[in-house]
Amino acid sequence: MNTVKTEIVKVQRPIATNDPNVPWLVYVKGHKKTQQVRQSYITEQVKKDMNGDFKAYFNAVWNDVTGWHIKDRVEDQEW
């Protein structure tokens, strides 16, 4: 039986540009699983949940083929 482990990730958008080709970062504490993604990878719901913030924390599930699947926003963390 496969169990899916939900982890808290930080989603961080670029600060100095609105260029859609500049990657966003999605990673867990300690950067053990870091993914650089195009803005188009980030869902409209995640962007809405970020509410203009440059970084926010979310529950997410890791997939070895497609990377992070970002779920709901959680309270800010200390990392």
Rounded to the nearest integer, the mean pLDDT of the chain is 93
Q: In the chain, what are the domain boundaries?
A: 6-74
- For residue range 37-65, list pLDDT tens digits in order: 999 999 999 999 999 999 999 999 999 99
Q: Using the structure block, give the residue that is written with the tokens 């504490």.
A: 29
Question: What is the arithmetic mean of pLDDT over 23-32?
Answer: 94
Q: Where residue 2 falls among pLDDT bands split at 50, 70, 90?
A: low
Q: Give the number of residues written for the chain.
A: 79
pTM above 0.85, yes or no: yes
30 with 71: CB under 8 angstroms?
A: no
Q: What is the 3-state secondary structure (H, E, C) of 11-56?
A: EECCCCCCCCCCCEEEEEHHHCCEEEECHHHCCHHHHHHHCCCCEE
What sign results for the dihedral spanned by CA atoms 16, 31, 6, 22? positive
